[in-house]
Structure formats: structure tokens, C-alpha cells
Structure 1
Amino acid sequence: MTFLQYLVLIPFLLAMLFIFAYSLSQVGLVWAYFKAQRRKGASAQSSNQREVKAAHDALAAPTAWPVVTVQLPVYNERYVIERLMAAVVTFDYPKANLEIQLLDDSTDDTVDIIARRVAEYRAQGFDIRHIRRSDRTGFKAGALAHGLTVARGNS
């Protein structure tokens, strides 16, 4: 080997040795993490679950529920609209204080799907409205702004 080859090989080997040592230290950290997690065990998890439940119970019963408006701006979303509506009506919130606005600018059969589902949810006691505009000025942001003009609650 020539002197030039050694001049390149030695820094390369030193760099590789440094990378190898760094990798070993990282493996050691991962090993220590898993070892600590195993020591904590199920008792720490159940303690944490009790704390979360206590915090949830403390927040779960306010003296007065505010009226909240949930706005759903949609445009030609026939494949997701039913799942979206089904998700919103499962909110854990009093029906009397929950207003749902479907801000629909659709030009396809999404309009019919929404109308059908809104009728079903209204029959179940939900305050849900299908709001349509004649033009799409501002697109979804415009629909949200229009919905705010007729909203009952704080969105």
C-alpha cells in the first residue's frame, strides 16, 4: 500500500470505529429503557389509568353546558359524509346544547345523502341542519363564514 492509501484509510477506519462505538452506546440506552419499563410493570400503568379517570371525572360534569356549534363544510364528499355525520352525533355532549351544521356546497349526490341522514338524525332529537348556498364564494372558508351568521352556539 502506498502512503496516499494509508492517508485515506486511517481516517476512514477511525470514523467507522467512532460510528461503531456510538451505535453500541445507543443499543445500551435502548436496553436500559426496556429494562426500566419492565421494572415499572402493571402497577404504574394502573396508577396512571386511575389518575386519568379521576381527571376525567372532575371535568365531566360542569354546572352549565354551553351551546356549541359544530360546522362541517363539505363539497362533493359522498364517500365520507355518512361516516363524518355518524362520528359527530356520537359526541359525548348534551343534545340540547349541540348544534350541527352541514355546510354543503355539493353538486353531486352528496346533497341527497346529507338530506336523508339529516332527517334521520333530526328524528332522533339532534339539532342538525343542512345549509346550502347558491354560490361557492370563498369555498369551504366561505361556507364556514356563512354558517357562523346563523349559528346558535360558539363554534
Structure 2
Amino acid sequence: MTEDKTAITGYFDITEEELITAYADKHRVTESRVVEAMTKKGIRHDKEASKGIANSSLLEERLKRLERALDDWVDIHFRCAEKTEKLEEQIARLEQELEELNKTIKMEEPQKLTDEMMAAVTGQSEWKVKLWRHGIQKPRGKIIKQKLEAYKIVDGVWMKR
């Protein structure tokens, strides 16, 4: 802060300075307290006191309007939040239904297998599996036939039953 008294007093008019000292003498307080009270309460000389009251009522009216607008915004915010929650629940339900549908589609859709996979299942060479698939040779042996019971050949492609 500036400590130069002339710079500080330069901010006030002579009439304001006189009003401050008169108010301080009347109420027996220091001038700094008077300035503090003036800034907090808007105390001015008597002619401007009515303007201050009018301004304060105008400010109070504006404050009430702002409070109403704020209440409206809060209400809108809560309504939007409720709608968002409902929509999120619907999205979650739809995602769950989609997962279930995908599972049923995968179950219904026959799984196509390659000759490599069938060779791994039966423990035979890929060449033999390829011959079985083309119908050139039939699988032989009880163990191999048991392993192949879960599979079938449709249009030259291995599929699960």
C-alpha cells in the first residue's frame, strides 16, 4: 500500500474528506473505521443516502432475479441429470440385450474349422484330414470316429454340429 498521505488523500474530494471527519467526530470512531463502514454499507452524506437506499433496493431486486435464475438452472440441471440416468439405464439394458443376441447368433451360426484345427483335434496329419474333407478317404478307427462325431462336413468345410 501507499504510505504517502497526500497520495491517499488525493483519492477523496475535499467534501468527502470533510464528511468522513464529521462522521468520525459524531460517532466517536477513527477515520479508518468510517472509511471501512462507508465501503461496507455505502454510507454517504445525507443527500446521497436516499440514492444509496434506492440503489441497494435495486441491487436487492437484481440479486433476487439472479437467485431465481440460479434456482431455475439448478432445477434444469437436476432434470437433465435424471433424464441422463434414465438414458444410461436404457443403454445398459440395450447393451445387455445386444450381448445376449450376439451369443445366440454365435451359437446358431455353425463354426467353420480349418484342416489344421481338425488335425489337432484328431491327432492325424493335415493331409489325411484334407482327404477326409474331400471324401477321397474315410476316417478309420474307433477313437478317430468318436472324436469326429461332434463335427460334420458341409459343402467341403468342417463345421461343428
Q: TM-score, normalized by length of structure 1? A: 0.28
Q: Which has the higher contact order (CA 8 A, sep 6+)?
A: 1
Q: Could you say which structure has the higher helix fraction? A: 2
Report the structure, 1 or 2, having the larger strand content. 1
TM-score (norm 2): 0.27
From the CA coordinates, give the structure whose radius of gyration is larger: 2
